Amino acid sequence: MNKRLKGKTALITGAGRGIGRSIAETFADEGCRVWATSRSLEPLRDLADVGGIQILQLDVTDVGRVARASEKIGGIEILVNNAGHVAVGAILDCTDTDLQQSLDVNLYGAFHMIRAFLPGMLARGAGTIINIASVLSSISSVADRFAYGVSKGALIALTKSVALDYVDRGIRCNALCPATILTPGLNDRIESNPDPAAARSNIVNRHKMGRLGTVEEVAAAAVYLADDASAFMTGQLLIMDGGMTL
């Protein structure tokens, strides 16, 4: 079987569970040398037993730690900015802290990572950046996701700006924009609802396909964006929404 990412090195943030974990495992299976990172080391520990994966504790909101990670890891070909924070509520429910935390993780986290690792990509004349955004952004919205949507919309703007500024220097930057993906974090939020069954049904019914997306589907799309098969693609949004925005 042809390993599509053989010989490449990737760093993935927020790889402890859910989408990030699936991307880390799938990239490793495709022959990539993977640095799986997370704010907490505990959810990463069993990934250290997976061939091709190295783990590293990394808080993307901490500029100093990001800089030290860059020094430790060195050059990479692929950066996946997946670390995320989901704040719930409309604008009148949103505190300054809620909005700042959303921006710190979802926007500034990607900003810090790109600033740290892009120079090495430029020095080699090649690199691929994949930002995990969302359809809940500048694309569409649902109720009570004000801070989340604002931060992900800004991440899309960041994606396009980076893509344009470095398009002639071998750098590609694209955004993956899923609708609702079945992850442990989503399950936690559903189960904390007073009526979990109704909450789950409401979320599923947003999607005209009648189901949620899977982390494996998002990981497969990330492989495409990381692979040379997408070499003519930059500054674009790969929307995976189960028909939600139709």
- Catalytic positions are 148
10 DSSP assignment: E
- For residue 78, the SS3 value is strand
Local structure of 23: helix, strand or coil = helix
Dihedrals phi, psi of 34, to nearest 5 degrees = -115, 135
Per-residue b/e over 84-122, b at no fewer than 16 CB within 10 Å?
bbbbebeeeebeeebbebbbbbbbbbbbbbbebbbebbe
3-state SS, 102-154, equals HHHHHHHHHHHHHHHHHHHHHHHCCEEEEEECCCECCCECCCCEHHHHHHHHH
Cα–Cα distance for residue pair 213/179, rounded to 1 Å: 7
Cβ within 8 Å of residue 66, ≥6 positions away: 58, 60, 112, 113, 116
